[in-house]
Amino acid sequence: MSEPDAQALDELFTRVLHTEDDALRAARESAAAAGMPAIEVSAQHGKLLSLLATMTHAKRVLEIGTLAGYSTINLARGVGLDGRVVTLEYEPRHAEVARANFERAGVADRIEIIVGAALDTLPTLADRGEPFDMFFIDADKENNTAYVEWALKLGRPGSIIVVDNIARMGRVLNPADDDQQAKGVRAMFDMIGEHPRLEAAAIQTVGTKNWDGFAVALVT
């Protein structure tokens, strides 16, 4: 008898829970067709984001890192018809693909995509004076600490912050000197652990994304 396979189990969950519809599958396929790296969230993680937005009654969500918009669609569904998702994407080509996916999924009217380096565009959101209820951080890991700090500035007590890719195949435990991504994630955890306004948990996962995980923090 062969050993159980974590990816096959993920696929079972997605099938029996009817997690992906045609719009989500098309978004995933469009990323591959456009030559983007296969780093979007798994189907189950995407659904979890949608459920978190719904359960917390989030109406304003900020996402850092759009890619082809797979997670963005899930967030937009979670906030509902009267909600709003602002998503930040560095690559103009990625943003173009994402916009088409938003239209196909029927959620384009509740998504604003801003193109440019996030650390350059985040200050423009502060000028709006409208706090966000939820944040999803899934961009360059080297800047994770700065992104969490911006979430604190742009959020409110009760806002939640979700950070993706927190295991780095275990490299976060003892990052090599040249492993900037693992070092960025570890620095973020050190910052969160010492911050007086954050309570957090980190969850390791296996499955489609191999050894991965996510963190969830509450702004107090």
Task: Give the Cα separation of 115 and 125 in Å (integer).
Answer: 13
What pLDDT, on a 0 to 100 scale, did the predictor assign at position 82?
97
List for the chain the helix, strand, coil content (%; round to 5): 50, 20, 35
Task: Give the Cα separation of 144 and 93 in Å (integer).
Answer: 23
Q: Which 3 state secondary structure label does DSSP give 82?
A: coil
Read off the tokens for 40. 């979007």
User: Is the pLDDT assigned to residue 20 strictly greater than 90?
Assistant: yes
Q: Residue 37: CB partners within 8 Å, gap ≥ 6?
A: none
Percentage, residues of the chain above pLDDT 90: 90
Read off the tokens for 5. 């396979």
Read off the tokens for 124. 């423009």
Task: Give the Cα separation of 36 and 32 in Å (integer).
Answer: 6
- Say if pTM beats, i.e. exceeds, 0.85: yes
Average per-residue pLDDT for the chain: 95
Per residue in 79-127, pLDDT (tens digit) is 999 999 999 999 999 999 999 999 999 999 999 999 999 999 999 999 9
Would you mind telling me the total number of residues written for the chain in this entry? Answer: 220
Per residue in 153-194, pLDDT (tens digit) is 999 999 999 999 999 888 999 999 999 999 999 999 999 999
Task: Give the Cα separation of 83 and 146 in Å (integer).
Answer: 26
Superfamily of 6-219 according to CATH: Vaccinia Virus protein VP39 (3.40.50.150)
What pLDDT, on a 0 to 100 scale, did the predictor assign at position 1?
58
What pLDDT, on a 0 to 100 scale, did the predictor assign at position 3?
76
> CB 27: neighbour CB atoms within 10 A?
27
Alpha helices (runs of H) in 34-134, residue ranges in sequence order: 43-55, 70-79, 92-105, 118-126
Give mean pLDDT, residues 51-64: 98
